[in-house]
Amino acid sequence: MTIKIKIRRLILFVCLLFSMTPAIAIAGATEPYEVITHPGINEKSLPRSALRAIFGMRLHTWPDGTAVKVFVMPDDAPLHAVFSKEKLNVFPYQLRTAWDRLVFSGTGQAPETVASQEEMLAKVASTPGAIGYLTKSRMDGRVNVLQIK
């Protein structure tokens, strides 16, 4: 008896969870953006797996030996979500989980979080080895654009 009731409740619960799925849509409706690097970086393009390793904080050097310095927006910034999903093909929570694993086991470090796109531009333009992302309308000649293969 009670088992049946419990199972019914569980099914109801699970249905409720999945019924919400269509409501999820982080909009792709943000402005066009690019992956940007410090002007000293010669790379013009990178494979997605390398970009993922860089933002996963597991690839620490550029091919010329310069140390990679990663800048990101906060986890809940729409541009961060779009960049994570489109360029890296991961969800922001997966990045956060991976960074936490590195930081709290000592096997890596977290990227530097910037508060705004202005700060992103300023930091990437002024930090050797820097990589980040920025909407096209805010870009200027101080940063390079990196194509993702």
Partner 1 sequence: MYSRSNNPARHHVNWAIRLMVLPALLSGAPAHADKLPELPKLSEIRLPKLPEMPKLPHNLQIHGFASQGWLKSTDNNVFGQSSSSSGSFDFREIGLNASMRPLSNLQFSVQGLSRTAGEGSPGNIRLDYGFIDYTFSNQENSQFGIRLGRMKNPLGFYNDTRDVPFTRPSILLPQSIYFDRTRKLAIAADGAHLYGEYRSDYGDVSFQAGIVRPLVQGAEAEAAVFNGSQPPGHLTPNMSYVGRVNYELDGGRVRFGISATQLNMGYSPGVGDPLQAGAVHFIPLVFSAQYNAERWSLTSEYAIRFLEYKNFGPALPNLDFAGESYYFQGVYRFTPEWEGIIRYDALFTDGDDHSGKTWAANDAIQMAKRGLPGRPAHSRFAKDITVGLRWNITPQFMLRAEYHRVNGTGWLSTLDNPNPYATVQHWDLFSILGSYRF
Strands (E), 19-60: 33-37, 45-46
The reply to whether 40 sits near partner 1 by the rule CB under 8 A is no
When binding is defined by CB under 8 A, the residue of 39, 80, 108, 122 that contacts partner 1 is 108
Buried-state track 109-148, b at ≥16 Cβ within 10 A, e below 16? eebeebeebeebbebbbebebbbbbbbeeebeeebbebee
Q: Hey, which residues between 17 and 36 contact partner 1 (CB under 8 A)?
A: 17, 19-27, 29
Tokens of 126: 């002024």
CB 9 within 8 A of CB 58: no
In the complex, least distance from residue 42 CB atom to partner 1, rounded to whole angstroms? 14
| Contact yes or no for 87/148 (Cβ under 8 A) | yes
| 45, 89, 116, 147: which one binds partner 1 (CB under 8 A) | 89
In the list 67, 86, 115, 147, the residue contacting partner 1 (rule: CB under 8 A) is 67
H/E run at residue 51? helix 48-55
Residues at the contact surface with partner 1, assessed by CB under 8 A: 1-3, 6, 9, 13, 16-17, 19-27, 29, 46-47, 49-50, 52-53, 56, 58-61, 63, 65-68, 74-76, 78, 88-94, 97-98, 100-101, 103-110
